[in-house]
Structure 1
Amino acid sequence: MDHEFVLILDFGGQYNQLIARRVRECNVYCEVKPYNKITLDEIRSLSPKGIIFTGGPQSVYGDGAPTVDKGIFELGVPVLGICYGSQLMAHVLGGRVQTCESSEYGKTETEFDTDCELFRIDGLGEKNTVWMSHTDYISDIPRGFKITAHTAHCPVAAMENAEKKLYAVQFHPEVNHTVHGTDMIYNFVRNICQCSGDWTMGNYAQTAIKQLREKIGSGKVLLALSGGVDSSVAAALLSKAVGSQLTCIFVDHGFMRKNEGDEVEAAFRDWDINFIRVNAKAQFMDKLRGVSEPETKRKIIGEEFIRVFERQAKKIGAVDYLAQGTIYPDVIESGSGDAAVIKSHHNVGGLPDYVDFKEIIEPLRMLFKDEVRKLGTELGLSDTLVWRQPFPGPGLAIRIIGEITDEGLEVLQDADLIFREEIAKAGFDRSINQYFAVLTNMRSVGVMGDFRTYDYTLALRAVTTTDFMTAEFARIPYEVLEVCASRIVNEVKNINRVVYDITTKPPATIEWE
């Protein structure tokens, strides 16, 4: 390992990515490994500074329940068990776990022993709120442990064996609802594990560039550049490593936001790479003529992207490596270690069989999205690209309900630009995780001046989320929405009504199509 390292053993917990992000926020490198795909000898060889057990849905005393080799507690490495992980620690070390008489879910008042090193936090106090989610509990602690927190219904909300540096919490410190939860994780990785915090994007960039140069040598690299954050940062990193040996193919299907194709091209104009922009709007529009069903639109755009990419790649000739912007959540969610294959099809839509590549290169494979953004800034990318809003592959084509026309695209691009401008002016462009406009196929009566109109309704959508699996609608102030609506109906043709989508995910999705 080039960095101090904390190992996270995953037992199927819903918050495994969140635990890893919290550790990384402490400037400590960590990796998530499935509990059943790493041996004790392999853990020993990694020399982790600490180990964290995640939560999980099963009961530790059930048949076939996930478990660990008891020897993991004899490595002399600090261990923190969270939820299921805390129960597993108790179970393996001779304690007792049983079903709660009264389960605990959600915010729960907890009493702490602030002498415990995990809880030595200014402002925590002896009572505070944590996030609970459990139906089992530790009823008897193992020998050598002491109880360090409890609730009205959970006698062991936390326990420790300080001598062996073993700590367990029944609640979820990684969740924002646990007051000072991130401080507890900081205390574990920085104070108990004594990690110095050597994980920074500056250090990562230097190490990654060196490793890429060694791997690629004099070979050629091909990258499908969408203009999104991940592929743009991957391009910048590879450019620093191998320069003109990298070729980026940017397929502009014509469904980008206003001026976005030009912005992507301008961003890489002075980089030492071979940048190929393919303006393919006409052929994409031809394929989509008369098509209104959203899934059909997606499939047509995906297939046509492959065809354009294939034709351009063939002109380049033999390629040694295919690069893509896989990031760490993709790897964690795959669980099987097959993320490269999964993402190659997801990102490229199917690898061209004529490209003679040695392997796939994924320089961002171990980074979370927030780390990718920090790396992009470190590498000199503009804020426009680094903070680009999440954008679906089919682009505005699936933000137009019904058939796509040139007129509809122009209307949506203009309206979407106004919405983004006003959100930025109001200072919400980084606190709202995704925001965009949708051109509906619904027309309604309106009045502009002294004239009756019969024009289209535009929907605005803005959400806050941590994982994009669930999302809340953003509470944009009425005065900001009013300015957006006023500008759109006055400056954009064929729009006479603006609505704001206040539906959560679920039941809705973030995108409309």
Structure 2
Amino acid sequence: MELWHDRILVLDFGSQYTQLIARRIREAQVYSQILPCTVPLATILAYRPQGIVLSGGPSSVYEKKAPSVPKDLFDQGIPILGICYGMQLVTHLSGGDVVKAPHREYGRAELVIDDRSDLFKGVGEGGSTVVWMSHGDRIERMPPGFRSIAHTGNSPVAAMKRDDHKRRLYCLQFHPEVAHTPEGSTILRNFVYEICGCKPTWTMQSYVDTAVKQIRDQVGKDRVICALSGGVDSSVAAALTHRAIGDQLTCLFVDNGVLRVGERDQVQKTFASQLHLNLRILDRTNQFLDRLKNVIDPERKRKIIGRQFIAHFEEESKKLKGVKYLVQGTLYPDVIESVSFRGPSATIKTHHNVGGLPARMRLKLIEPLRELFKDEVRVLGKELGLPDEIVWRQPFPGPGLAIRVLGSVTKERLAILRAAETIVEQEIRAAGLYRDIWQAFAVLLPIRTVGVMGDQRTYENVIAIRAVTSLDGMTADWAKIPNDVLGRMSNRIINEVKGVNRVVYDISSKPPSTIEWE
């Protein structure tokens, strides 16, 4: 494992906010890494962390088989911050009492700060601050050696600490990582700077320098191909790998027939003409569409597309002497989900570059972005000199429009969807909303409805518009697009896209829905 910068480990107990903890610490330019709470003590110590955060979680510490950590972890002299369930676990393992609270405390609360010497330094200048609570248990009795450093009307011990040379333990009943705790970032910064002694060395420039060296060491003199889609992830992965090994890299762009309007031309312009990368464009439209013919199930679509991609990459790599590696734009959230302490997440949908890969693949993988969140990838893209139209491009699924054409994928149905999708993007950009919205796109539904056009009955297709706001795609809310913008989209789609007579707007959040419909 690389130990080239200060590191804060976040032990995950199943909280929906665990990723936010890591993100907030990284925003303080300190590297943070998430591990499942089930990892052995020896593994934790091998990372030589400057500090450890115990996340929240849905369990109660007094339940049978409640997740825990080795008690010896507290005796290593490493500063530890317990958040919500993490606080209750510290209490339980250190000899205090945790009980079910008379009333669940959820939502905003006023935190009265009793000690502003370290964790709350510079917080609550008027003596109190607003925090976000989400818990059903409370600290009935603090462990020996601990003292309360903040309280609320419902929680006499809303924060506590034990600060000695052997046990530097700090605990919060609230969640500093969420936006609803306005001074939460300051609290986390105090922990990593003041208490753990970390330096703000986690920058994209430092990441570039280290990643370039790692890629060079891994590849040597071998050749590499990159699966380039034109999206921000694969584009940044390609640019970073090119920075490391130059002409040893060849990018392959597969036109699979399920791309958006102008996708192929944009990739050719940016990567071949502007960035001067070795780029080969493979037109495999007919092969992909033949394999997708009459396929309805979205999982089958994803797996077919994933396997076809790899088949074409491997076929092309044989023409390039010495190719042993394939670059992919895997991000940190994909890695986190695969190592959750509850085990790999249930398969909601397969990513074409993960679940779609064949079990025995000839090429070895290079994943230079696997430590980064999406927003960090965008910063890295700017650091590498990629144009804004690539860096700020909204996410586009690997299987492309195949999973936005619900039901059978045909050239005719793809043409309808492409035209509608183009109008959605044009109107979002014209309204100045493109950077504010995580994703906005059209979906062609597998139904037809009755309409009236020119005094005549029609029986035609339905387009759904989907637009969401999000920080990282893990959770999302439907975007509150102004009615007049929605009206222009609907009017243009019905008037300009032949075969559509109805437009609907999706107002579902994630969860319970996913962002994509398939």
- TM-score computed with the length of structure 1 as normaliser: 0.89
Deviation at 1:502, TM superposition (A): 1.6
How many angstroms apart in 2 are the aligned matches of 1:9 and 1:503?
A: 31
Number of the residue aligned with 2:93? 92
Deviation at 1:239, TM superposition (A): 0.6
Number of the residue aligned with 1:395? 400
How many angstroms apart in 1 are the aligned matches of 2:301 and 2:140?
A: 56
Cα distance change of structure 1 residues 56 and 289 upon mapping to structure 2, 3 Å threshold: closer
Alpha carbons 1:446, 1:455 under 8 Å: kept: no
The alignment status of 1:261 with 2:267, answered yes or no, reads no
* 1:338-353 equivalences in 2 (<5 Å): 346-347=353-354, 349-351=356-358, 353=360
Aligned amino acid, residue 307 of structure 1: A
The alignment status of 1:471 with 2:473, answered yes or no, reads no
The alignment status of 1:284 with 2:288, answered yes or no, reads yes
Number of the residue aligned with 2:59? 58
Q: Deviations over 1:435-469 (max 9, x none)?
A: 10112342332335x77655433221111234544
How many angstroms apart in 1 are the aligned matches of 2:241 and 2:294?
A: 41
Aligned amino acid, residue 373 of structure 2: F
Number of the residue aligned with 1:134? 135
* 1:178-193 equivalences in 2 (<5 Å): 178-193=181-196
How many angstroms apart in 2 are the aligned matches of 1:295 and 1:65?
A: 34
* 1:290-305 equivalences in 2 (<5 Å): 290-305=294-309
Alpha carbons 2:12, 2:36 under 8 Å: kept: yes
How many angstroms apart in 2 are the aligned matches of 1:320 and 1:241?
A: 16
* 1:433-472 equivalences in 2 (<5 Å): 433-440=438-445, 441-447=447-453, 454-472=459-477
Find 2:379's aligned residue among 370, 374, 381.
374
How many angstroms apart in 2 are the aligned matches of 1:293 and 1:362?
A: 29
Q: Which moved more, 1:96-105 or 1:120-129?
A: 120-129
Number of the residue aligned with 1:511? 516
Report the 3-state secondary structure (helix = DSSP H, G, I; strand = E; otherwise coil) of the residue aligned with 1:431: coil
Deviation at 1:77, TM superposition (A): 3.1
Alpha carbons 2:451, 2:460 under 8 Å: kept: yes
Number of the residue aligned with 1:119? 120
CA RMSD after TM alignment: 2.9
Aligned amino acid, residue 200 of structure 2: G
Report the 3-state secondary structure (helix = DSSP H, G, I; strand = E; otherwise coil) of the residue aligned with 2:371: coil
Deviation at 1:317, TM superposition (A): 4.8
Alpha carbons 1:224, 1:348 under 8 Å: kept: no
Number of the residue aligned with 1:11? 13
The alignment status of 1:274 with 2:278, answered yes or no, reads yes
Q: Deviations over 1:292-332 (max 9, x none)?
A: 45444444434433433332233335533333222211222
Q: Deviations over 1:324-374 (max 9, x none)?
A: 2222112222117999xx99984382248573x4x4322112111111111
Report the 3-state secondary structure (helix = DSSP H, G, I; strand = E; otherwise coil) of the residue aligned with 1:347: coil
Number of the residue aligned with 2:314? 310
Alpha carbons 1:322, 1:360 under 8 Å: kept: yes
Aligned amino acid, residue 431 of structure 1: D
Report the 3-state secondary structure (helix = DSSP H, G, I; strand = E; otherwise coil) of the residue aligned with 1:371: helix
Percent identity, please: 51
Deviation at 1:181, TM superposition (A): 1.7
Cα distance change of structure 1 residues 304 and 49 upon mapping to structure 2, 3 Å threshold: closer
Cα distance change of structure 1 residues 133 and 397 upon mapping to structure 2, 3 Å threshold: same
- Structure 1 residues not aligned, in runs of 5+: none
Cα distance change of structure 1 residues 512 and 315 upon mapping to structure 2, 3 Å threshold: same
How many angstroms apart in 2 are the aligned matches of 1:296 and 1:68?
A: 40
Cα distance change of structure 1 residues 247 and 148 upon mapping to structure 2, 3 Å threshold: same
- Structure 2 residues not aligned, in runs of 5+: none
Deviation at 1:386, TM superposition (A): 1.8
How many angstroms apart in 1 are the aligned matches of 2:218 and 2:294?
A: 47
Q: How many residues align?
A: 507
Cα distance change of structure 1 residues 156 and 472 upon mapping to structure 2, 3 Å threshold: same
How many angstroms apart in 2 are the aligned matches of 1:366 and 1:187?
A: 24
Number of the residue aligned with 1:331? 335
How many angstroms apart in 1 are the aligned matches of 2:501 and 2:296?
A: 23
Q: Which moved more, 1:362-371 or 1:306-315?
A: 306-315
How many angstroms apart in 2 are the aligned matches of 1:114 and 1:476?
A: 44
Cα distance change of structure 1 residues 217 and 148 upon mapping to structure 2, 3 Å threshold: same
